[in-house]
A and B are shown apart, each in its own frame.
Chain A
Amino acid sequence: MDEKREDQEQAEASAQEQSAPKASEEALDVEALDLSIETVEDRINPSETNVFDK
């Protein structure tokens, strides 16, 4: 899975890096953006912490 990231980096770095800055401003109204981001930190159930039984 790490190789996947590396391969991708090699293939895309050149593509993304070489492209000139484009007019992103009109497409990205930063002032009005909803910039929420969340991940689930799965709560651990008692059944998963019982290393004695399982």
Chain B
Amino acid sequence: MSFPITLAFVPQGHFTQPYLALPCLKAWLQEAGFEDVEQRDLSIEAYDHFLSPGYLRRAQERVRERLPLSAFEGRENLPLGELRAFRSAAESEVSANAVIADVEAAKAVLRSEDFYDVDRYVPAVRTLYHGLRLVSAAHYPSELTPHNFTMGYANDRSEEVLAATLDEDQNPFIEFYREEVLPGLIARKPRLLGLSVVYGSQLIPALTLGRMVKAALPDCHVTAGGGFLAYIGEKLMGAAGVEGCLDSMIFHEGEAPMAELAAALEAWDGPEQANLSAIGSLTWFKHSDTGCETVANAPAHPVALNEAPPPDFDGLPFDLYLAPEVVLPYDINRGCYYGECSFCTLPTVIGPGYRTRAAETIAGHLTDLRDRHGVQNFSFITDCMPPGMIRDLPEALIEAQPDIPAEARMKWWCDARIEPRAYTKKAAIRLHESGCRKLLFGFESATPRLLKLMRKAQSPRSVSEVARNCSEAGISVTLYAMVGFPSETVEEARATLNFIREHKDVVREVSLQTFHIDEVALTYRDPEQFNIKILDGAGTDLQLYHDYLSEQGMTQQEAAEMFDEMMNALRADLPIFSGDNIYYFMQKSHYFLHLARGTTPDEFVAQCQQRTEAKTAREAGGPLRTNTARSSVALPFSHVAAANTLAHPLARAARPDFLTGRFVADAQAVAEEQLEPLTPQDCVLVYDEVGHEFVELSRDGLKVLEAIERAGNVDNLLQSLKSTTPGARERLTNYIAQLHNKGLITTFQPAPALPSPSTEPHELTSR
């Protein structure tokens, strides 16, 4: 008899490639005899659904009803609490039609060869970002981005989390599940549904789905597991009301517990609840006449990784991911062989111990996956590779691809630890020959005092040596850096920044993070060691992240400001971070795909530089006319001022950030007090419908564009201004150069023919 199981990766995760958890579970369950296992990436399904013309059109209508721009007219000022609503209303009003028109083409660009053409790639990514802003505005104050999903509800209070699962006005996933997911599940009738919750951004969407499935399919056991729940699961399972969304939770690795749970449910045919007390690492709700009791079982044994089957990706919608080639994740090991860093809690998430697959096993699995799915590219899911693996894996990969030239071998990237004895010049060359194209190293800081506190056991000199060896071998180097580690001073943070700048010839990207404390970190358990005092958030029964006071060095607020200073400097200095080239860094594997295709890091960086320089070099000369593919809307306040205020660290602290931070209860009040309200300013928000960029002009700016249109082109206009003073003429010329730079004026080839009678001048009104 069939025992249907459905595994779901719930929104929100990144949209460029599949995650690993479900394929590992599916492979294990099938090996355990459960053949009817369906896996669904509901995150990519939701992105694809939301980023469609029909959905966005409905979102546009909702925004006009919920956030009418007219509500901001005639106001004396606009306080912080209303800036996001204003920004959302303004952007939606001016961009929605163009985004709706281009969204399918934008997805097609990212999924095709056009991805590799930067002039197509950047506007396509912008279109998708702006599409998600429209979706967010329709569910204000919720925000769905390519990297996060947050709501007005706090993630660290169970009452709010549970309320969010019922709020259809703000939670876009309720309708999505009801219309796009539940019908299929009801037809399939799974007996077991497993929800993968790796990130905080997935918590509310997971509980939302659990609640809806439990209501629609009472015989389906709903369980959940994953990295984020390893942190807060125990608290969550103790919170009142969660039994309405889940039946159980699996901690750490899910393979063996999931198979045991499925076996227990399949074997049980009594009228009462199945006895689940023998299943390792399971916490479950035991129902009785007197109520509901939370039962936490003993931990299960960790998986013997080298004996585990390779992940099974069958059934995942490869064609939906927003990349031209799918990059498959693969777990070469689990846990960390080093395991000493005082800030890191990742070994806690995956479960106890360090385990690895043999190099030959990895090579065999990769070639099998390559042949089965027709893929060439992999991201290795690992904290870092131990020295032995750095030596052995390249040999095994090269041996497993006999007679295949180096450039045609499988390509891969992964995280790494600075190991100067392992990443020698010779080893780096061999890694590159085996297909390694990018390594991301934990650098953290250039200050030896802090590195010692972090227990990194590495020196800035060794970082320099390893980065240079890898870069010279053709491997792109990314550094993870941290700002705000307890006791870090402003000068020490700047030393880290300077180190990166001095190595910009070998360091292509930096993943900069502000330090934060979670409850399983050493910094939380032993704060005296770091001279900090941990603060507790009142009423936060699901709290994971904590504020703290440090006796020396930067405050948390100062660290947030230093983050901005460092990021601004990196954007000025690193070509991949400059302007909109940063989209390549921000979308997982997008830059890597260029490297995998044969572009070297040096070539890619040069392309980024050329693009930035070409844009800034645009002038007012040559045959120029207006870009009439634009829409505009008059605003009573400045959109740019609103955006800048919202980006202030004080304002950012007032938003719940489920990924890296805390929900600071009084942050809104502090920010309101310190950040000035906006005063009225007549301006015009213009949307370039080709480049998909917002530009803010004064009302006079529109007059200039209209004058150019009346004159026919820029030259004609300038010739007509005979009585204008040289100074004013120069001002105008400079302004036209800026309009050119922003895409509102474009070059053209003078036309030989007479105008078509059907050509109408573009009307500059809001749509």
A contacts, CB < 8 Å to B = 1-2, 4-5, 8-25, 27-28, 30-31, 33-54
CA distance A31 to B694 in the complex (A): 27
CA distance A45 to B150 in the complex (A): 14
Q: List 20 A-B contacts (CB under 8 A).
A: A1-B109, A2-B690, A8-B627, A9-B746, A9-B749, A12-B628, A14-B756, A16-B712, A17-B625, A17-B713, A24-B717, A37-B695, A38-B696, A40-B644, A43-B647, A46-B514, A47-B659, A49-B510, A49-B512, A54-B147
The 3 closest A-B pairs by CB, nearest first: A14-B751, A15-B755, A43-B647
A21 cross-chain contacts in B, Cβ below 8 A: 711-712, 716-717, 719-720
B contacts, CB < 8 Å to A = 13-14, 102, 105-106, 109, 119-120, 123-124, 127, 145, 147-148, 199, 415, 440, 478, 480, 509-514, 563-564, 567, 571, 579, 582, 585-586, 588, 623, 625-629, 638-640, 643-644, 647, 652, 657, 659-661, 689-690, 692-701, 703-704, 706-707, 709-713, 716-717, 719-725, 728-729, 731-732, 734-735, 738-739, 742, 746, 748-756, 759, 761
Is B629 a contact of A13 with CB atoms below 8 Å? no
B109 cross-chain contacts in A, Cβ below 8 A: 1
B105 cross-chain contacts in A, Cβ below 8 A: 1
Is B753 a contact of A5 with CB atoms below 8 Å? no
CA distance A34 to B123 in the complex (A): 29
Interface of B is mostly: mixed
Given contacts A14-B754, A54-B13, A54-B14, list 9 more A-B pairs with CB under 8 A. Answer: A2-B690, A12-B625, A16-B713, A17-B625, A23-B720, A27-B706, A38-B638, A38-B695, A54-B199
Is A30 a contact of B147 with CB atoms below 8 Å? no
Instruction: For B748, give its contact among A17, A33, A37, A38 (CB under 8 Å).
Output: A17
Is A25 a contact of B723 with CB atoms below 8 Å? yes
A30-B728, A30-B729 are known contacts. Are A1 and B640 too (CB-CB below 8 A)?
Answer: no
Q: Nearest residue in A to B127 (C-beta to C-beta)?
A: A1
Instruction: For A49, give its contact among B511, B709, B724, B748 (CB under 8 Å).
Output: B511
A15 cross-chain contacts in B, Cβ below 8 A: 712, 755-756, 759, 761
CA distance A34 to B728 in the complex (A): 11
CA distance A5 to B629 in the complex (A): 8
Is A46 a contact of B698 with CB atoms below 8 Å? no
B563 cross-chain contacts in A, Cβ below 8 A: 46
Q: Nearest residue in B to A14 (C-beta to C-beta)?
A: B751
CA distance A39 to B629 in the complex (A): 18
Is A37 a contact of B696 with CB atoms below 8 Å? yes
Q: Nearest residue in A to B580 (C-beta to C-beta)?
A: A41
A24-B721, A47-B660, A48-B586 are known contacts. Are A18 and B690 too (CB-CB below 8 A)?
Answer: no
CA distance A45 to B728 in the complex (A): 40
Interface of A is mostly: loop
Instruction: For A22, give its contact among B643, B693, B720 (CB under 8 Å).
Output: B720
Is A18 a contact of B731 with CB atoms below 8 Å? no
CB distance from B327 to the nearest CB of A (A): 13
Is B732 a contact of A33 with CB atoms below 8 Å? yes
Q: Nearest residue in A to B101 (C-beta to C-beta)?
A: A4
Is B704 a contact of A33 with CB atoms below 8 Å? yes
B147 cross-chain contacts in A, Cβ below 8 A: 47-48, 54
A18-B754, A43-B564 are known contacts. Are A27 and B703 too (CB-CB below 8 A)?
Answer: yes
A40 cross-chain contacts in B, Cβ below 8 A: 639-640, 643-644, 694, 696
Instruction: For B659, give its contact among A43, A44, A53 (CB under 8 Å).
Output: A53
Is B698 a contact of A1 with CB atoms below 8 Å? no
A11, A27, A28 — most chain B CB neighbours (10 Å)? A28
B585 cross-chain contacts in A, Cβ below 8 A: 49, 51
Q: Nearest residue in B to A32 (C-beta to C-beta)?
A: B700
B480 cross-chain contacts in A, Cβ below 8 A: 52
Is B728 a contact of A31 with CB atoms below 8 Å? yes
CB distance from A30 to the nearest CB of B (A): 4
CB distance from A34 to the nearest CB of B (A): 4
Is A25 a contact of B721 with CB atoms below 8 Å? yes
Instruction: For B731, give its contact among A13, A27, A30, A44 (CB under 8 Å).
Output: A30
Q: Nearest residue in A to B105 (C-beta to C-beta)?
A: A1
CA distance A23 to B711 in the complex (A): 8
Is A24 a contact of B628 with CB atoms below 8 Å? no
Q: Nearest residue in B to A36 (C-beta to C-beta)?
A: B698
Q: Nearest residue in B to A39 (C-beta to C-beta)?
A: B695
B13 cross-chain contacts in A, Cβ below 8 A: 54
A31 cross-chain contacts in B, Cβ below 8 A: 724-725, 728
Is A47 a contact of B732 with CB atoms below 8 Å? no
Is B660 a contact of A46 with CB atoms below 8 Å? yes
CB distance from A21 to the nearest CB of B (A): 4
CA distance A20 to B623 in the complex (A): 15
CB distance from B282 to the nearest CB of A (A): 26
Is A17 a contact of B723 with CB atoms below 8 Å? no
Is B729 a contact of A37 with CB atoms below 8 Å? no
CA distance A39 to B728 in the complex (A): 23
B626 cross-chain contacts in A, Cβ below 8 A: 16
Is B567 a contact of A24 with CB atoms below 8 Å? no
CA distance A43 to B565 in the complex (A): 11
Q: Nearest residue in A to B102 (C-beta to C-beta)?
A: A1
A4 cross-chain contacts in B, Cβ below 8 A: 629, 689-690
CA distance A39 to B692 in the complex (A): 12
Is B639 a contact of A50 with CB atoms below 8 Å? no
Q: Nearest residue in A to B646 (C-beta to C-beta)?
A: A43
Is B732 a contact of A30 with CB atoms below 8 Å? yes
CB distance from B173 to the nearest CB of A (A): 18
CA distance A38 to B440 in the complex (A): 35
Is B652 a contact of A51 with CB atoms below 8 Å? no
Is B724 a contact of A25 with CB atoms below 8 Å? yes
CA distance A12 to B120 in the complex (A): 22
CA distance A19 to B440 in the complex (A): 57
CB distance from B112 to the nearest CB of A (A): 13
Q: Nearest residue in B to A44 (C-beta to C-beta)?
A: B567
Q: Nearest residue in B to A21 (C-beta to C-beta)?
A: B716
Is A16 a contact of B709 with CB atoms below 8 Å? yes
Instruction: For B751, give its contact among A1, A17, A35, A46 (CB under 8 Å).
Output: A17
A9-B749, A12-B759, A14-B759 are known contacts. Are A39 and B647 too (CB-CB below 8 A)?
Answer: no
B689 cross-chain contacts in A, Cβ below 8 A: 4
Instruction: For A19, give its contact among B706, B712, B732 (CB under 8 Å).
Output: B712
CA distance A45 to B563 in the complex (A): 9
A45 cross-chain contacts in B, Cβ below 8 A: 652, 657
Is B751 a contact of A50 with CB atoms below 8 Å? no
B639 cross-chain contacts in A, Cβ below 8 A: 40
Is A14 a contact of B586 with CB atoms below 8 Å? no
CA distance A12 to B342 in the complex (A): 63
